[in-house]
Amino acid sequence: MPTQIEIVQGDITDQDADAIVNAANNELWMGAGVAGAIVRKGGREIEDDAIRQGPIRVGEAVITGGGSLIASHVIHAAAMGQDLRPDAESIRKSTDAALTLAEERKLQSIAFPALGTGVGGFSVHECAAIMIDVVRDHADRRDAVATAYFVLFDEPAFQVFRAAAGP
């Protein structure tokens, strides 16, 4: 059965999914935005575990426990480097890497933020098109996740992702 795509407005740290995705840098330190919210709600051990696995290349991902989050895991997808400048290729590769890790772990659900659109300043419209395209590329794999959530904090980004996902 192909992956179901769900667009949700809210706080990704409250999402009931097997894994949530952190919009990471390749050093895996967690600053503001989604990363900061994950550490505040899930605990410093998430960042400590991520940093022990880094640094990684831009476009790669690592997985940690979820600390005190609802989600059991956090997948740290490096959509940007230390320059905090994502591009279309880094967003595509990091989305793919996060999905691949979820599939390898046999996770049933994953929740993504809009990678690279916060501090990275990447276009929400382009991000939505890229990320949804990558999920659809994975959707029919034998080991694909059952549900991919896109959790957007604000209304404008929610509307962009909803339009990009289509009916």
Where do we find the tokens 């990558």?
134
Rounded average pLDDT over 93-98:
98
**pLDDT score, position 167:** 77
Q: Are 30 and 39 in contact (CB under 8 A)?
A: yes
Span of 27-41, 56-70, 105-119, 122-136 with lowest mean pLDDT:
27-41
**Six-digit token pair at 79?**
């959509």
Rounded average pLDDT over 66-77:
98
Quote the domain boundaries for residue 67: 4-165
The number of folded domains in the chain is 1
Q: In the β-sheet with 109-112, what is the strand arrangement from edge to edge?
A: 4-9, 147-152, 109-112, 19-25, 73-80, 61-65
Where do we find the tokens 């959790």?
151
pLDDT at 1 over 70: no
Rounded average pLDDT over 89-107:
98
**pTM (two decimals):** 0.96
Between 120 and 70, where is the model more confident? 70
Q: Are 22 and 34 in contact (CB under 8 A)?
A: yes
Identify residue 17 by its one-letter amino acid code. Answer: A
H-only helix segments in the chain = 33-42, 44-52, 88-104, 124-138, 155-165
Rounded average pLDDT over 82-89:
90
Q: What's 46's DSSP letter?
A: H
Q: What is the CA radius of gyration of the chain?
A: 14
Rounded Cα distance, 98 and 61, in Å: 6
Query: Residue 88: which CATH number?
Result: 3.40.220.10
Q: Are 39 and 46 in contact (CB under 8 A)?
A: yes
* pLDDT over 70, % of the chain: 99
For the chain, the first-to-last Cα distance in angstroms comes to 18
For 107-158, how does the pLDDT look when each residue is reduced to its tens digit (9 = 90+)?
Answer: 999 999 999 998 889 999 999 999 999 999 999 888 999 999 999 999 999 9
Rounded average pLDDT over 96-109:
98
